[in-house]
Amino acid sequence: MRRFHFNRVEDASGISGTGRVAEGVLFDNGLVALTWNSVHKCVNVYTSLAEMMAVHGHEGKTVMVWIDHDPNDADGPEPELEASPPKSPPPKKPKKLAVKKPKPPAK
């Protein structure tokens, strides 16, 4: 589990402001939780970092800064993750459920 924060250099939406605008956690299973440091208190959950940055990156106006060192990286902390839109795999199509039609009553 690793913590990070968003540093926003320009407020594209006019809502969240600039500077340290959000805090988040990357869980070991790949899910991401993000909460905002504004009057609009909420928590968002994403299936990946790429998904989160695609939504909140605003074409490089948001920078994700790691707070915790990656325990799997012996070289030291990672650089800031700039918000260029990542290439995410296309969303999975939902599976169709088989629907069994009831048999007519026996006569």
Q: Take residue 28 and report the two structure tokens written for it.
A: 């070991």
For residue range 72-96, what is the model confidence (pLDDT) as tens digits?
776 655 545 544 434 444 555 555 5
Confidence of residue 46 (pLDDT cuts 50, 70, 90): very high
How many whole angstroms separate alpha carbon 35 and alpha carbon 41?
7
Check residue 98 and give its pLDDT: 58
- Residue with more model confidence, 14 or 96: 14
Alpha carbon 43 to its chain centroid, in Å, reads 11
Residue 14 has pLDDT above 90, yes or no: no
The arithmetic mean of pLDDT across residues 40-67, rounded, is 83
Q: Which of 46, 49, 40 is nearest to 17 (CA)?
A: 40
Residue 10 has pLDDT above 70, yes or no: no
Cα gap 56→12, rounded to integer Å = 10
In the numeric block, which tokens belong to residue 13?
């939406």
Largest CA distance in the chain: 77
